[in-house]
Structure 1
Amino acid sequence: MKIISKYYGSILIIGRSNAGKSTLLNTLIGEKISIISHKINTTNSNIIGIYNKNSYQIEYIDTPGNIFYNNKILNSLKNNKYNYIFFILDRNRWNYIEKKFVKILNKITIPIILIINKIDQINNKNILLPYINFLKKKINFISLFMISAKYKLYTNDINNFICKKLPKKKHHYPSNYITNQTKEFIFKEIIRESIIKYLHKELPYLINIKVNYIKKLKNLLNKINIFLLVKNINQKKIIIGKNGIKIKLIKSRSKKNIEKFLKKKINLNLWIKIK
């Protein structure tokens, strides 16, 4: 009996907030597990996405935009925990934030892959070559990709490239896994994304989301009860909105995305509760 070799690698995705890290993660694994928003600091913790193809398994780790004071991430970089680092750049944007990332990356020995994202928004492509030459002087990288994660332009090239570079190693996750996160975590992330979309300013970050109950019904619908915990009546009124419009929008969008994730219909109940 022929033994099939297996290949596995772990990749950390870093970059400024809104550079497209979460969009890229979702695109690479083909599922939406990391929430996306135009508001800064949407991703609050590391989200792991797992790409499986035949004998290849890639663990992608999406990070918050500000890792500069995150000792856990910084120590893992020093300890060479990852096979590669993806440094995501928002078009040709470059200021003190990118300089802070470069300062960290130039102190480690993990191979770095640069990814210039949102090329669909660059009207004058003539700026790219001078920009690449500029990057070569700032940071040592083994490869560079120019993509649009949102529109999935050239993103398949990344998975194909990494698969060829993976070391021969036993897989860390079952082949049907797409994330190490629980369903409850994914549900909360989906609802938090909807809250961020329809509410403004700092309120979405003050809401605590609690998955209270999940039940499989006889008709194959999942019944999911979720509480949105707020501090006072004013916050509750803002979430409900005039004539209940806000909470209806949040529920409708959340239900649609949870069903897409589960690939089945659900019965979603949302309640707002003062802590």
Structure 2
Amino acid sequence: MNKIISFYFGRVLMLGRTNSGKSTLLNQLIGKKISITSHKINTTCFNISGIYNHKNYQIEYIDTPGLIENNNIIYNSLFSKNNFDAILLVLDQNKWNYIEEKIIKIINNIIIFIPIIIVINKIDKIYNKTILLSHINFIKKKIFFTDVVMISAKKKLYINDINHIIFKILPNKKHVFPKNYITNQSKKLIISEIIREYIIRYIHNELPYKLKIKIESFIENPKTLSKNINVLFYVKKLSQKKILIGKNANMIKFIINRSQNSIEKFFNKKVTLKIWIKLK
């Protein structure tokens, strides 16, 4: 007699201040880089979903933009749906100010009967770990949570503890995504985000993080199975165009080379990437 296997699926919302390490954590949880990371504030501009599969468990982790001034509209629209099964509140070490207070206020006002897991990130930067105990006691007075995990997303410390905690609270439900899925983002969005990361990382503050990147064409060669990708950057100023191109076109060549390597790694296919820069 065949044993009936139960399947479990749930959606987990990741919240926290900008640069708390949510994107790095998402990449580690999924086991592949799907969300760009940078020290620049508010690198993540929209929700990014990562799909984690393990045996009969499937989790959709949703990375959200970090909370900054006037960002309440984003969170209110998310919370109004209440279509998730748990919240990961990602905190940067023992940092706490008005940003965390804002997030806590929204959660306490809107979210009811949804498990909240506190994730204290970047513990590798804390020399005296005993201060974390007093910090956890402080958080207890602010919000009710079901569990707490202390991790280092960058150093890959205790990441799997989060998945195991989520397993215990997932509802008995059919899987939404195919087993080989790691993200529900489109191929074009993934490519544009990979390119945007390298621009942000190497050009620093000279360009805004909300870059207009358009994938003009995404064609697969049936003979070689390679992909030909043509991309357009739109900039507002001639000075920005010059920065992107760089002296003797060195900067744009560097960005193309790095981006192309990352895109090839993601899709496991040979890629030919071409980039044009235009004034908007």
Q: How far apart are 1:274 and its partner, in Å?
A: 2.0
Give the distance between the partners of 1:65 and 1:136, measured in 2 at CA. 22
Q: How does 1:130-209 map to 2 (within 5 A)?
A: 130-201=134-205, 203-205=207-209, 207-209=211-213
Structure 1 pair 147–191 and aligned structure 2 pair: CA distance change class (3 A): same
Equivalence for 1:259: 264
Q: How does 1:234-273 map to 2 (within 5 A)?
A: 234-273=239-278
Deviation track 1:100-145 (CA, whole Å, cap 9, x = no partner) reads 1111122221221100000111112121111111111111110000
5+ residue gaps in structure 2? none
* TM-score relative to the length of structure 2: 0.93
One-letter amino acid matched to 2:84: Y
Which of 225, 230, 245 lines up with 2:230 in the alignment? 225
What RMSD, in angstroms, separates the aligned Cα atoms of the two structures?
Answer: 1.6
Equivalence for 2:10: 9
Asked if structure 2 preserves the Cα contact closer than 8 Å seen for 1:206 and 1:230, the reply is: no
Structure 1 pair 148–206 and aligned structure 2 pair: CA distance change class (3 A): closer
Q: Which moved more, 1:19-28 or 1:241-250?
A: 241-250
Q: How far apart are 1:78 and its partner, in Å?
A: 4.2
Deviation track 1:60-81 (CA, whole Å, cap 9, x = no partner) reads 1000012764545424424432
Deviation track 1:134-175 (CA, whole Å, cap 9, x = no partner) reads 111111110000001111100011112211221100111111
Does residue 67 of structure 2 align to residue 62 of structure 1? no
Give the distance between the partners of 2:265 and 2:108, measured in 1 at CA. 41
Runs (4+) of structure 1 exceeding 6 A deviation are none
* TM-score relative to the length of structure 1: 0.95
Q: Secondary structure at the match of 1:194?
A: helix
Asked if structure 1 preserves the Cα contact closer than 8 Å seen for 2:43 and 2:209, the reply is: no
One-letter amino acid matched to 2:252: I
Q: Secondary structure at the match of 2:225?
A: coil
Which of 78, 81, 100 lines up with 1:98 in the alignment? 100
Equivalence for 2:116: 112
One-letter amino acid matched to 2:121: N
5+ residue gaps in structure 1? none
Asked if structure 2 preserves the Cα contact closer than 8 Å seen for 1:198 and 1:249, the reply is: no
Q: Which moved more, 1:213-222 or 1:24-33?
A: 213-222
Q: How does 1:21-36 map to 2 (within 5 A)?
A: 21-36=22-37
Asked if structure 1 preserves the Cα contact closer than 8 Å seen for 2:45 and 2:65, the reply is: yes
Percent identity, please. Answer: 58
Give the distance between the partners of 1:242 and 1:267, measured in 2 at CA. 23
Structure 1 pair 207–78 and aligned structure 2 pair: CA distance change class (3 A): closer
Q: Secondary structure at the match of 1:82?
A: coil
Asked if structure 2 preserves the Cα contact closer than 8 Å seen for 1:13 and 1:61, the reply is: yes
Give the distance between the partners of 1:257 and 1:45, measured in 2 at CA. 21
Q: Which moved more, 1:260-269 or 1:68-77?
A: 68-77
Give the distance between the partners of 1:231 and 1:76, measured in 2 at CA. 32
Asked if structure 2 preserves the Cα contact closer than 8 Å seen for 1:16 and 1:66, the reply is: yes
